[in-house]
Amino acid sequence: MRDFEYIAPKSVEETIEALSKYKDDAKIIAGGQSLLNILKQDLMAPEYLIDIKNLSALDYITYDDKEGLRIGATTTHHTVETSPLIIEKYSILSEMEHTLAFPQTRNWGTIGGNLCIQDPTGDVAPILIALKATVKIVGPNGERILPMEDFSTDYYETVLEEDEILAEIQVPPIAPRTGIAYSKFRIVDGDAPIVGAAVSFTLKDDGTCLEARIATNGTGPIPLRIPDAEAVFKDKRITDDLIIEAVETAGEAMECIPDIVASDEYKKRVAKAYVKRMARKALSQIQ
């Protein structure tokens, strides 16, 4: 690992000032569970490392019935996993966190850091997309809010400008008659997923589909939302035949990249199977 200057700002404002001053020469570190590996491999060599791990202003979980859930970017995975509020209101997030990497990673790694490192196999983003989450970004020109599906741009790249930080994850209240499911395929517990899928359905009172959301990880350079597959369900009563049709549509949108773990064909086949399973599971949860 190359030498760098260490900066520990005491506020969000100081963080933005440091980023604005050093720009391309600086990198934010929160938990560092992914970033440190990248630095050790010499894939990145910032001159300044800005540590926001101890910024209490970004470490929180709040909820109200109108605005929904708010999670500060430096909140740890363990805190999300064990939060009574999240277990009660958004249990899918707690369930996902329980299988994310290992306890050591969850104890120190942050939810904001997970999103910002933009590993295309990451667990967090597809669930947030299924939950209709947005992210709050803060920079010298103020705040901006983006849908979660618009945050990632490429492998390990996001929309964040060099003087901006991810400050908050925002999740609206879950509508009545909604079912949400997520699962992933991996070789060994604790490993990063090879592929995964998140599906949510919201039904009308007559049993037809008001809204569907489908998102996958590991099926391309960024977490993939698949509107064409979602549209298959719109205003229809969800049946197994309809799920199979949507799965085939989803498969057409997946541009899986082969790697040392699996071929592109294998990834697509498994991802389609997981979309089907999660669609069935999400539907089964609706009373």
For residue 225, what pLDDT is reported? 97
Of 146, 171, 196, which one is at a domain's C-terminal end?
171
Together in a domain, 144 and 75: yes
The tokens describing 10, both together, are 């005491």
- For residue 239, report the phi and psi dihedrals to the nearest 5 degrees: -120, 170
Together in a domain, 68 and 167: yes
Together in a domain, 85 and 33: no
Cβ density class 5-18: b for 16+ within 10 Å, e for less: eebebeebeebbeb
pLDDT tens digits for range 84-107: 999 999 999 999 999 998 889 899
Mean pLDDT of 25-39: 85
For residue 2, what pLDDT is reported? 81
For residue 187, what pLDDT is reported? 87
Q: What is the residue-averaged pLDDT of the chain? A: 94
Together in a domain, 212 and 277: yes
**Residue 196 sits in a domain of what CATH number?**
3.30.390.50
Together in a domain, 197 and 239: yes
**Residue 116 sits in a domain of what CATH number?**
3.30.465.10
What single DSSP character describes residue 110? B
For residue 115, what pLDDT is reported? 96
Together in a domain, 192 and 264: yes
Of 171, 188, 219, which one is at a domain's C-terminal end?
171
Together in a domain, 66 and 160: yes
Together in a domain, 120 and 186: no
For residue 1, what pLDDT is reported? 72
Res. 41: pLDDT tops 90? no
Together in a domain, 162 and 87: yes
**Residue 32 sits in a domain of what CATH number?**
3.30.43.10
The total number of structural domains that make up the chain: 3
The SS3 call for residue 7 is strand
Helix (H) / strand (E) element for 268: namely helix 264-284
Domain containing 123 equals: 56-171
Instruction: Read off the pTM.
Output: 0.95
Res. 35: pLDDT tops 90? no
Res. 50: pLDDT tops 90? yes
Q: Using the Cα atoms of residue 260, residue 261, residue 264 and residue 266 in order, give the sign of their dihedral.
A: positive
What single DSSP character describes residue 175? P
pLDDT tens digits for range 101-150: 888 989 999 999 999 999 999 999 999 999 999 999 999 999 999 999 99
Rounded Cα gap, residues 131 and 286, in angstroms: 15
Together in a domain, 191 and 247: yes
Of 171, 187, 204, which one is at a domain's C-terminal end?
171
Res. 269: pLDDT tops 80? yes
Together in a domain, 84 and 122: yes
Among residues 210, 216, 213, 178, the alpha carbon closest in space to that of 196 is found at 216
For residue 222, what pLDDT is reported? 96
